[in-house]
Structure 1
């Protein structure tokens, strides 16, 4: 009995050893499978976080880049420069206010305003609201100091006037007179937050001090990533960065060495971060609870399926292939994003170069069209000069013959020759003035005088056509802000078109009128030609479009005229009735002193 019992106990122990080993092996496999699943899930979360970071960074960069060059471009406008030079002039400031208001509406920005070198706001897009920036001093803002020192600045803060947060982009404007100004655009980034919140993305952007100012999680806003130092708190207070907001300096978001973040419900989140520019940091977070569930599920599945080793191996192999595929897709996406970034950089540089070339081409086209207009009048001008020369030669010959016989008739003949010389001198003077290139500055000029000069220039062509243009002036003395030669070019183009329209017709009439209508000056040229077809009216200001079949022009006259009037703050209108004639009107704003 004793020997049998001993033998049975040994067999029982031998049976328990494989069972315990199996249980231990199953536990080890479950633990190993759970650990592998955890790592794979975390890797998948990290890959998705990296994708989210890339897309969010590009979205933030795109939103800011839409307005990055707006302050510099706005500062090139004559109205802004006049406001810097003449801050005491109400008319100049009013023009700058309205220009900023219009640009803000067209660009879709939040606010656009102009400051002088001391930080005092001279003009703003919200000048007519209760939250106007005009008169406020923002020299304490870092973007103003950076713009004055380096030429450009950027800073995210809550507006001390409006209480609305936004990103401020500033550019310094340097004038030849030694004066400086700063143009600032405020960009509201709240649509990004709304997009993140709608997509369920726990994204956040932190400033140089680690304070979150944009986030898809409302509870994170104005909360530091780490505990702020007293120096950082003092700097935020002096700059009034988050004016009116409660910054919880003692409640950092990041916990532990690995930088865990917890959401509003207390769930742990996995985070990835990337720098944005020199000062900002983009953070993307996702919950790790799916990774925990994945680890538990894989462990239980591995334990239950241990006996099916081949099936388990196949599942694991497919899982690894899927993870590898996702990793390759992430790498491919990163390469595409990098390639697109390089292409965008090249495109931006190309656009800058193209803009410079377009400006040079526009100036060249204006001068070319001016020379083309002179070419169109060349035959009439030659006749205008040759006719006085022939008459002067005959007059001087008659004076020479009568010098001894009838001295009393010599004086009038010499005076006649002198008048002919003066006539040629006037023609040549107008041609020299018209053909020179203008500097591009705008002056206060008399539009009536410009109209008279244009009529003087076109007289040879008018006589060749058989027309005596009329000039009618209505209204008190008037002044407009424009370039004298360029405005003269506009009127010359309109007069030449009118003369071409009536040439060869039984009824040939051309009328030029200068009149005030409210706050505007209308310079109209009317003819009795055949008119313009209704389907051609919308295209008359298109470059290279012309209704004349045998014209020596380039088809650019009206297009360039419209561009010149737009530069003066004016516009161009065309009214035509087929069979009756055409009226083309250049409209310019009156200067306020002239209206008064």
Structure 2
């Protein structure tokens, strides 16, 4: 064998070995980088999805508690033979079900038997059904708020259940249950997943998928089902008569928290795909959310990247060879360089186009994330209308009493009050729409004293019920501010409601409202409760922060501060020397000579 032949073979062997090493290193490096980027993106998508699921469920979480305060439920549980009250409760639950858009609402007694339901007209009515085996009933009968996911044994529909006990003094008579249709939540979550380019699966503590963006995954198990496990699933009746099959995935699923990438090959839409799996627990709901990100885009991009690096490697190798044989192969080298430069240019254009597409996709994800804010805002409307609804109910019950006693001369006043409260309630609800669009607002010169009187009208039924002494101290002069009287009433009602709740265990229950004039007009609301702890002073106005463990979403004071600040005012909290909390609202005084010229420091179209 000649020397030239040996050199040629050696050179060829070295080039091929280097090429194999380059391809292997490129494949391994960019595959790992792809896993890292996908995992990071999945973590962000996980937060968005969990926030959306949590917000969707929180809309219904307080409904059982609110319904439990209706005395009609207690009366029906105490006297189940009263057909008139039973029928009235059926109709009432049916109306609430339509208003809240929940799937079903039903009342069960202490034995777990449903005695009234919103679906009383349907063939699958829950009335007479025994739900004592359901964990949500067992939690409620122990005095807790129950949460549970299951397939209805009667309706055969998937739903999430919230339950709350019905008390008669210290004893529990039964529970009110609200079933939420998770189909709509699943559809909206699927839309978010499609926009983000991933699939998701929500599993119960037994690793059974009950929510998923892929229909084939629904009601399948991530882990193997042996005979004993199948028996336990059937005994729990969580999935009614549905058959739970195993999800075909390789390798077998492991619920580990180590940081290495977990990749599974799973059937999706009759085809097998590789997914990078990320999961996180939703402890309050008892769920585990799994995000399955397809790896196909990474696999599809690898050949192009490997080709690029192989080309660059060969370019360097060829450059070395061409340098060695420069004089003999100058023309051929130039042609190869031109070809490679064109390839690099084309590849760069492709990468720039991919970057532009990625930017557009990110903008769409941001817009989709904004829509979830509406779900969070919807929780505040429930918080703000509870008191007007309670007032309407109280006046309506009083009207029935007056009619039964033939005291018709007072009925008209009650009906006018109910109409006024209903109009005010409609105004409050309509203001919720302003969160999603710009408008000019309804600011005007507002009489502070009349505004306080209207707020006191709304809160009066609760004042009477709790035995609270309400005292208003004002001057002979009448002052006005420039703002929205309905929003100011919302702030006053919220502060008085919080004061009533704070005085729940106080022997002396007193609320004092003072109007004081200085450089600004100040409204001071003082209660005789325990006051506000120093550690809570800075947090009390933060969204979702609440000092109550029984009710409220922690939105009232946050919304109140935003309303007052939109009127160029301030709201502060302090503790009185003689005990109790003082909330002080200070607003600019609106003078009569300014009636045709609103304050110039207000921005037209300013909304919360």
Pairwise TM-score range, normalised by the shorter structure? 0.5 to 0.7
Aligned to 1:273: 279
> Among residues 156, 163, 178, which one is paired with 1:163 in the alignment?
156
Q: Distance in 1 between matches of 2:33 and 2:381?
A: 45
CA deviation map 1:422-448 (0-9, x unaligned): xxxxxxxxxxxxxxx99x999856545
Aligned to 2:96: 103
Aligned to 2:407: 450
**TM-score under structure 1 normalisation?**
0.54
Q: Distance in 1 between matches of 2:423 and 2:162?
A: 39
Q: Distance in 2 between matches of 1:234 and 1:272?
A: 29
Give the length in aligned residue pairs.
388
Q: Distance in 2 between matches of 1:358 and 1:303?
A: 73
CA deviation map 1:129-169 (0-9, x unaligned): 11111111100111111111241111111111111111111
In 2, are the aligned partners of 1:153 and 1:169 still within 8 Å (CA)?
yes
How many angstroms does 1:237 deviate by?
1.7
Sort the Cα spacing of 1:348 and 1:542 in 2 relative to 1 into closer, same or farther, 3 A: closer
Query: Secondary structure of 1:226's match?
Result: coil
How many angstroms does 1:227 deviate by?
1.6
In 2, are the aligned partners of 1:170 and 1:185 still within 8 Å (CA)?
yes
Q: Distance in 2 between matches of 1:541 and 1:354?
A: 9
Task: Report whether the alignment pairs 1:53 with 2:46.
Answer: yes
Query: Secondary structure of 2:245's match?
Result: coil
Query: Secondary structure of 2:132's match?
Result: coil
Aligned to 2:414: 490
Q: Distance in 1 between matches of 2:91 and 2:383?
A: 30
Query: Secondary structure of 2:221's match?
Result: coil
Aligned to 2:508: none
Q: Distance in 1 between matches of 2:49 and 2:79?
A: 43
Aligned to 2:146: 153
Alpha carbon RMSD of aligned pairs, Å? Answer: 4.9
In 1, are the aligned partners of 2:94 and 2:118 still within 8 Å (CA)?
yes
Aligned to 1:547: none
> Among residues 218, 241, 244, which one is paired with 2:241 in the alignment?
244
Q: Distance in 1 between matches of 2:313 and 2:134?
A: 66
Task: Report whether the alignment pairs 1:184 with 2:177.
Answer: yes
How many angstroms does 1:188 deviate by?
1.1
> Among residues 184, 201, 216, which one is paired with 1:219 in the alignment?
216
Q: How does 1:84-483 map to 2 (within 5 A)?
A: 84-176=77-169, 178-195=171-188, 199=194, 201-228=198-225, 232-248=229-245, 255=252, 258=262, 260-263=264-267, 264-277=270-283, 279-308=286-315, 447-451=404-408
How many angstroms does 1:115 deviate by?
0.7
Query: Secondary structure of 1:43's match?
Result: helix
Q: Distance in 2 between matches of 1:493 and 1:266?
A: 65
Query: Secondary structure of 1:119's match?
Result: coil
Query: Secondary structure of 1:204's match?
Result: strand
Q: Distance in 2 between matches of 1:540 and 1:110?
A: 29
Specify every segment of 5 or more residues in structure 1 that has no aligned partner in the other structure, as ranges. 1-5, 367-436, 455-485, 495-535, 544-551, 568-596
How many angstroms does 1:349 deviate by?
11
CA deviation map 1:237-268 (0-9, x unaligned): 22211112111259677626646141231222
Q: Distance in 2 between matches of 1:229 and 1:18?
A: 60
Which has the greater radius of gyration? 1
In 2, are the aligned partners of 1:35 and 1:295 still within 8 Å (CA)?
no
How many angstroms does 1:355 deviate by?
7.6
In 1, are the aligned partners of 2:152 and 2:240 still within 8 Å (CA)?
yes
Q: Distance in 1 between matches of 2:238 and 2:100?
A: 25
Task: Report whether the alignment pairs 1:10 with 2:10.
Answer: no
How many angstroms does 1:206 deviate by?
0.5
How many angstroms does 1:68 deviate by?
0.7
Q: Which range moves more in the overlay, 272-281 or 98-107?
A: 272-281
Q: Distance in 2 between matches of 1:358 and 1:557?
A: 11
Aligned to 2:496: none
Aligned to 2:59: 66
> Among residues 16, 19, 28, which one is paired with 2:12 in the alignment?
19
How many angstroms does 1:59 deviate by?
2.2
**TM-score under structure 2 normalisation?**
0.53
Q: Distance in 1 between matches of 2:302 and 2:458?
A: 74
> Among residues 29, 32, 44, which one is paired with 2:25 in the alignment?
32
Q: Distance in 2 between matches of 1:147 and 1:30?
A: 62
How many angstroms does 1:489 deviate by?
6.6
Sort the Cα spacing of 1:21 and 1:540 in 2 relative to 1 into closer, same or farther, 3 A: closer
Sort the Cα spacing of 1:67 and 1:37 in 2 relative to 1 into closer, same or farther, 3 A: same
In 1, are the aligned partners of 2:77 and 2:173 still within 8 Å (CA)?
yes
In 1, are the aligned partners of 2:198 and 2:294 still within 8 Å (CA)?
no
